[in-house]
Amino acid sequence: MVLIVLPALIPDIRRIYETYFSAFENDEMGSIIFKILFPQTIDEQFKEAHAVGTLQWWHGCDYQYTMKVVDTDTAEIIGMGLGDILVKPRTLKERENHGAPLAGG
Confidence (pLDDT) at 101: 60
pLDDT of the residue at 94: 78
Stretches in the chain below the pLDDT threshold 50: 105
Q: What is the pLDDT of residue 53?
A: 92
Give the whole-angstrom CA distance, residue 14 versus residue 29: 24
pLDDT of residue 103: 53
Measured CA distances, 95 to 61, 85, 91, 102 (Å): 12, 13, 6, 20
Order the strands of the 64-71 sheet from edge to edge.
3-7, 64-71, 76-84
pTM for this entry: 0.76
Q: Is residue 74 within 8 Å of 22, Cβ to Cβ?
A: no
